[in-house]
Structure 1
Amino acid sequence: MPLTSTFVRANINMHAVREVSLTINATHLFIYFIPEAPEEAARLGVTEYAPAYFAFRSAPMGAVPWQVTLAAFYSFSPRSVRAMAGVWDSATPEHWQAARFAAVDRAFRRVDVHLTADQIAEARSLIDPVVASADYAGKTMAAANVSVPLPSDPLVALWQQITVVREWRGDAHFTVLAANDLGPCDCNVLQTATGHFPEAIARATRLWNDEEVAAATARLVARGWLNADGTTTDAGISARERIEMETDEHCAALWTPIGDANVRRLTSLVMPIHDAFTAAGTYPFRVEMGDTQSADPEAAT
C-alpha cells in the first residue's frame, strides 16, 4: 500500500511543495563542492574527502559511531561510511560543525551572494515557523540539525535553517523508499538509470561494488522497473515519480504553517544563493531545477 494513503493531504498546493523542495535542495547543495570545505577539514587534520564529508554532515548527531551515520544516510554502502572511523579523534563534533559554518561563510563571501539584510530577515521570518512547528518524529538528521545553535552571521544562520528543512525532506524520502521496498543499493541503481544522478558520482561516493549493483539491478528487473540491459522501463520512470510524489505528500504538512503564497515567496528569496554558486562554476554538472534530487550527493531516488 502506498505510504501516502496513511497521510491526510495538508491544505497546500502540491506544486508549491515541489517547487520549494527543489529550491531548498539547490541552495543547500554547494556545501559538497566548495573548496572551502576540504580546506576547513584539513585544519582539523582530515585531508580525504569521504571522512570529511561524513564528519561534517554527521556532526549535528554528536560523536556517533559510523553505523549510526550509515543508518541515518540510508543510501551509502557500509564500506563507504566506515571511512569516517576516527574522525571524532581528530576533532569533536562541535569543532566539525564550527568548521562547516566557517566554510559556508567563506564561500558566501567568495561568490558574493546578493541577499540584503532585509531579504535575509524576511526569509528567516518565513522559514523559522516551518522549522519551529515541524514534527521531528522519525526525522533523525533534521532533528539533529535543529538542535545545532545558529551561528551569529545572518546568512549562515539562514543556510542552517535551510539545512534543517533539506534534511527533513531527506528523512521523509528515506521513509518512503523503505515503504516501497527500495533498499539502499537499489535506489542508487534506479536513480542513475533514470539519469537523475551521475553514475560516476554514485559509484565514487556510495561504493557499492559490481556484485551488489548487479544484484540490485536484477531485483529492479524483476519488478519491471529496469530492462535487462539496465535501462529504465516506463514502469520504472513512473515508479520513481510516484516515490517523489509520495515524498511531497509527506512534506506537505511541513509547509502548511506559512501557506502557498509564503512558500513561493521563500523560494524566490533564497534562490540567489543557488544562482551565485552556479555563476561561480561550483558544480561539475548542471543542477536541474526540474528534478528534486538531481545530482545531489545525498540523493537516493
Structure 2
Amino acid sequence: MHLTSTFGRANMDLNAVREVSLTINATHLFIYFIPEAPEEAGKLGVTEYGPAYFAFRAAPMGAVPWQVTLAAFYSFSPRSVRAMAGVWDTATPQQWQAARFAAADRALRRVDVDLTADQIAEARSLIDPVVASADYAGKPMAAANVSVPLPSDPLVALWQQITVVREWRGDAHVTVLAANDIGPCDGNVLQTATGHFPEAIARATRLWSDEEVAAATSRLVARGWLNADGTATDAGVAAREQIEAETDAHCAALWTPIGDANVRRLTSLLMPIHDAFTAAGTYPFRVEMGDTRSADPEAAR
C-alpha cells in the first residue's frame, strides 16, 4: 500500500472524512432496494433488475456502450454488464434519469424523511460547495452525475448532490484498487472474505464464475491476505482497512471547502434519510452509520 502520502495532504480529520463517507453511502443506498425503482423501470419497458440497475446508474454518462459502463463500475464481470445491451433503445438516458428521480421522489415521500425545509437548505449549503469545488479529473461517475440538472424537489435535489459525492468516492476507490493491483474480482472476493459485502449478493449481482472466484482467491492467498479455505488472514483484514484509509486520504481534499466541523454537521443532517428507510424495512441486511457492510456498488469498488 503506497498512496496515502500522495493523497493525504489536505488538512482534514480523516475520521470525519470516513464518517461522512459512510453517511453519504448509507443515504444514497435506498435507490437500489426500493420497490419504486423496478416500478419506474417497468414503465420504460424493462422488468429485469440487472438491465434496469445499469441503465439507472449509467444514465448520467449518456448512451454509452456496455463496455464503458463496465470500465466505470469496475467490480462487475463483463457477463453481468452485457445485460444492459439494448436499454438505450428501450428508453433514452434522459428518460432513465427522470425515472430514477421519480423513484427516489416517491420513496422519499413514502418513508416520510424527517427533514425540515430549513434543514434541507442547510445541508445543501454544505454539500453544494463540495460538489462545486471538486476536481473531477479521473472521476467519470462523479463527473457524469454533476452534469445532470438538479430536479425541482429540494429533497430529491439534495439526494442527487449526495449521489455526486458518493460516486466521487467510488471513483477514488477504483484508483486506489488499481494502484494496489487489486482487480475487480479480487476486490469482490476480499470484500466478502472480510465480511464487508454479503457473498450471496456479490455472486448474484457481479456474476463472477466459480473459476474466476477461485483464481482471485488463489491470487489473494499468494499475497497472504486469504487462507487456503478463502477466509481472511489478519494481513488481509489489515490490507482491506488500508485500502479504505487510502481512499479516505484521497477524499480529504474533497471536503476541505467546508472543513471538519461542517463535515460533521452535514453528517448529522443527513442521518434522517437513512433512518427513515431503515425504519421502513428497506434493507435485507444491516446498514448502520459506521458500518460498511452494505450491498451497494461502492462497497465492492
Shorter chain as normaliser: what TM range? over 0.9
Matches within 5 A, 1:92-111: 92-111=92-111
Distance across 2 between alignment mates of 1:175 and 1:38? 31
Partner of 2:143: 143
- Structure 1 residue 9 displacement after superposition: 1.9
Distance across 2 between alignment mates of 1:118 and 1:30? 23
- Structure 1 residue 255 displacement after superposition: 0.3
Partner of 2:64: 64
Residues 285 and 294 in structure 2, CA contact (< 8 A), matched pair in contact too: no
CA RMSD of aligned residues (A): 1.0
Matches within 5 A, 1:157-172: 157-172=157-172
SS of equivalent residue, structure 1 residue 110: helix
Residues 20 and 264 in structure 1, CA contact (< 8 A), matched pair in contact too: yes
Distance across 1 between alignment mates of 2:237 and 2:185? 17
SS of equivalent residue, structure 2 residue 300: coil
Q: What whole-Å deviation, never above 9, does each CA across 1:139-169 have from its counterpart, x for those lacking one? A: 0000000000000000000000000000000
Partner of 1:205: 205
- Structure 1 residue 300 displacement after superposition: 1.5
Question: Which residue identity lines up with residue 295 of structure 2 in the other structure?
Answer: A
Q: What whole-Å deviation, never above 9, does each CA across 1:183-238 have from its counterpart, x for those lacking one? A: 00000000000111000000000000000000000000000000000000000000
The answer on 1:35 being equivalent to 2:35 is yes
Report sequence identity in percent.
90
- Structure 1 residue 62 displacement after superposition: 0.1
Distance across 1 between alignment mates of 2:7 and 2:69? 28
- Structure 1 residue 5 displacement after superposition: 2.5
Distance across 2 between alignment mates of 1:268 and 1:2? 32
Q: What whole-Å deviation, never above 9, does each CA across 1:35-65 have from its counterpart, x for those lacking one? A: 0000000000000000000000000000000
Partner of 2:264: 264
In structure 2, the gaps of 5 or more residues are none
Partner of 1:249: 249
Matches within 5 A, 1:44-123: 44-123=44-123
- Structure 1 residue 297 displacement after superposition: 3.5
Residues 56 and 100 in structure 1, CA contact (< 8 A), matched pair in contact too: yes
Residues 293 and 300 in structure 1, CA contact (< 8 A), matched pair in contact too: no
Matches within 5 A, 1:154-233: 154-233=154-233
Distance across 2 between alignment mates of 1:179 and 1:293? 23
Distance across 2 between alignment mates of 1:52 and 1:68? 16
Residues 72 and 141 in structure 1, CA contact (< 8 A), matched pair in contact too: yes
SS of equivalent residue, structure 1 residue 9: coil
Distance across 2 between alignment mates of 1:83 and 1:98? 21
- Structure 1 residue 291 displacement after superposition: 3.2
Question: Which residue identity lines up with residue 154 of structure 1 in the other structure?
Answer: P
The answer on 1:273 being equivalent to 2:257 is no
Residues 25 and 293 in structure 1, CA contact (< 8 A), matched pair in contact too: no
Distance across 2 between alignment mates of 1:133 and 1:297? 25
Q: What whole-Å deviation, never above 9, does each CA across 1:4-46 have from its counterpart, x for those lacking one? A: 2223421111110000001000000000000000000000000
Question: Which residue identity lines up with residue 264 of structure 2 in the other structure?
Answer: R
Q: What whole-Å deviation, never above 9, does each CA across 1:88-111 have from its counterpart, x for those lacking one? A: 000000000000000000001110
Question: Which residue identity lines up with residue 225 of structure 1 in the other structure?
Answer: W
Residues 40 and 99 in structure 1, CA contact (< 8 A), matched pair in contact too: yes
TM-score (norm 2): 0.98
Distance across 2 between alignment mates of 1:163 and 1:253? 18
Distance across 1 between alignment mates of 2:214 and 2:276? 39
Aligned residues: 301
Partner of 1:127: 127
Question: Which residue identity lines up with residue 38 of structure 2 in the other structure?
Answer: P
SS of equivalent residue, structure 1 residue 299: helix
Distance across 1 between alignment mates of 2:294 and 2:37? 21
Partner of 2:11: 11
Task: Check 1:24–1:62 CA distance in 2 against 1; reply closer, same or farther (3 A cut).
Answer: same
Question: Which residue identity lines up with residue 298 of structure 1 in the other structure?
Answer: E
SS of equivalent residue, structure 1 residue 298: helix
TM-score (norm 1): 0.98
- Structure 1 residue 87 displacement after superposition: 0.1
The answer on 1:284 being equivalent to 2:284 is yes
Distance across 1 between alignment mates of 2:67 and 2:251? 27
Residues 21 and 292 in structure 1, CA contact (< 8 A), matched pair in contact too: no
Question: Which residue identity lines up with residue 263 of structure 2 in the other structure?
Answer: V
SS of equivalent residue, structure 1 residue 289: coil
